[in-house]
Structure 1
Amino acid sequence: MDTELKNRLSNFSSRLKSARLMNGLSLQGLADKIPNQITKQSLSKYELGQVIPDSEMIGILSEALGVRPDYFFSSQVLEIDIQENPRLRVFPAKERIRIVEIAKDELGRYLELEQILGIETRFENPISHISISSQQDIEEAAQTLRNHWGLGTGPLSNVIELLEDHHVKVLEIESTEEFDGFSTWVNGKNIPLIVLNKAKLNDAPDRKRFTALHELAHLLLEVNHLPERDKERYCHAFATAMLIPAETLKNELGGKRSKLSFNELAAIKQQYGISMQALVFRAKNVGLISDNYFRQFYAVFNQLGYRKTEPVDFVGTEHSNRFSQLLFRALAEDFISMSKAAALKNQKLAEFRKENMVI
Structure 2
Amino acid sequence: MENIIANRIKNARILKCLSQQNIADELGITKQMVSKYEKGEAVPTSSRFLKLSKLFGLKMDYFFSSFQIELGEINFRKKSTFSIRKQNSLKEEIKIRLENYIWIEETLSIDYSFKNIIENIKINSLDDIQKTVLKLRNDWNIGIDPIHNIIQLLEDKEIKVIELYNVDEKFDGLATYVNNKYPVIVVNGDFPVERKRFTLLHELGHLLLNLPDCETKEEEVFCNKFASEFLFPADIVIKEFGGKRRNITFPELINAQKKYGISIRAIIYRLVDTGILSKNKHISFYKRLNLNPSLKREVDNSRFETPEKSNRFEQLVYRALSQENISISKASSLLNERIANLKEISLL
Specify which of 318, 331, 335 is matched with residue 341 of structure 1.
331
1:289: which partner in 2?
Answer: 277
1:103: which partner in 2?
Answer: 94
Q: How big is each residue's C-alpha offset from its partner over 1:223-244, in whole Å with a ceiling of 9 and x where there is no partner?
A: 2512333222221111111112
Moved more, 216-225 or 206-215: 216-225
Q: Does 1:313 align with 2:313?
A: no
Partners of 1:309 and 1:14 lie apart in 2 by 49
Determine if contact 2:322/2:346 at 8 Å carries over to the other structure. no
What's the offset of the Cα at 1:81? Answer: 5.1
1:250: which partner in 2?
Answer: 238
Specify which of 211, 228, 236 is matched with residue 199 of structure 2.
211
Moved more, 303-312 or 115-124: 303-312
1:20: which partner in 2?
Answer: 13
Letter in 2 for 1:324: E
1:324: which partner in 2?
Answer: 314
Evaluate the alpha carbon distance shift between residue 312 and residue 84 of structure 1 in structure 2; reply closer, same or farther with a 3 A threshold.
Answer: closer
What's the offset of the Cα at 1:83? Answer: 5.9
Moved more, 316-325 or 116-125: 116-125
Evaluate the alpha carbon distance shift between residue 228 and residue 92 of structure 1 in structure 2; reply closer, same or farther with a 3 A threshold.
Answer: closer
Partners of 2:114 and 2:80 lie apart in 1 by 27
Partners of 1:331 and 1:50 lie apart in 2 by 37
Determine if contact 1:332/1:358 at 8 Å carries over to the other structure. no
Secondary structure at the counterpart of residue 299 of structure 2: coil
Q: For structure 1, which runs of at least 5 residues remain unmatched after alignment?
A: 1-7
Secondary structure at the counterpart of residue 19 of structure 1: helix
Determine if contact 1:277/1:307 at 8 Å carries over to the other structure. no
Secondary structure at the counterpart of residue 129 of structure 1: coil
Q: Does 1:45 align with 2:33?
A: no
Partners of 1:290 and 1:327 lie apart in 2 by 51
Q: For structure 2, which runs of at least 5 residues remain unmatched after alignment?
A: none
1:3: which partner in 2?
Answer: none
Q: How big is each residue's C-alpha offset from its partner over 1:179-204, in whole Å with a ceiling of 9 and x where there is no partner?
A: 3222233334x2222222345x1xx1
Q: Does 1:29 align with 2:17?
A: no
Specify which of 53, 61, 69 is matched with residue 78 of structure 1.
69
Evaluate the alpha carbon distance shift between residue 307 and residue 168 of structure 1 in structure 2; reply closer, same or farther with a 3 A threshold.
Answer: farther
Partners of 1:67 and 1:312 lie apart in 2 by 36
Q: Does 1:181 align with 2:173?
A: yes
Partners of 1:291 and 1:220 lie apart in 2 by 30
Specify which of 221, 227, 238 is matched with residue 226 of structure 2.
238
Q: How big is each residue's C-alpha offset from its partner over 1:262-312, in whole Å with a ceiling of 9 and x where there is no partner?
A: 210111101111011111211222333333443344443444345565164
Specify which of 288, 300, 314 is matched with residue 288 of structure 2.
300
Partners of 2:179 and 2:298 lie apart in 1 by 39
Evaluate the alpha carbon distance shift between residue 75 and residue 216 of structure 1 in structure 2; reply closer, same or farther with a 3 A threshold.
Answer: same
1:4: which partner in 2?
Answer: none
Determine if contact 1:67/1:346 at 8 Å carries over to the other structure. no
Evaluate the alpha carbon distance shift between residue 177 and residue 243 of structure 1 in structure 2; reply closer, same or farther with a 3 A threshold.
Answer: closer
Moved more, 46-55 or 261-270: 46-55
Evaluate the alpha carbon distance shift between residue 25 and residue 312 of structure 1 in structure 2; reply closer, same or farther with a 3 A threshold.
Answer: closer
Partners of 1:14 and 1:135 lie apart in 2 by 44
Partners of 1:25 and 1:235 lie apart in 2 by 35
1:112: which partner in 2?
Answer: 103
Partners of 2:137 and 2:328 lie apart in 1 by 39
Determine if contact 1:9/1:52 at 8 Å carries over to the other structure. yes
What's the offset of the Cα at 1:331? Answer: 1.3
Moved more, 275-284 or 130-139: 130-139
What's the offset of the Cα at 1:82? Answer: 5.1
Evaluate the alpha carbon distance shift between residue 12 and residue 352 of structure 1 in structure 2; reply closer, same or farther with a 3 A threshold.
Answer: farther
Evaluate the alpha carbon distance shift between residue 294 and residue 65 of structure 1 in structure 2; reply closer, same or farther with a 3 A threshold.
Answer: closer
TM-score by length of 2: 0.90
Determine if contact 2:77/2:216 at 8 Å carries over to the other structure. no
What's the offset of the Cα at 1:155? Answer: 1.6
Moved more, 102-111 or 229-238: 229-238
Q: How big is each residue's C-alpha offset from its partner over 1:206-259, in whole Å with a ceiling of 9 and x where there is no partner?
A: 011111111111111122512333222221111111112222222211344332
Secondary structure at the counterpart of residue 44 of structure 1: helix
Determine if contact 1:82/1:88 at 8 Å carries over to the other structure. no
Letter in 2 for 1:74: S
Report matched runs for 1:158-173 at 5 Å. 158-173=149-164
Secondary structure at the counterpart of residue 280 of structure 1: helix
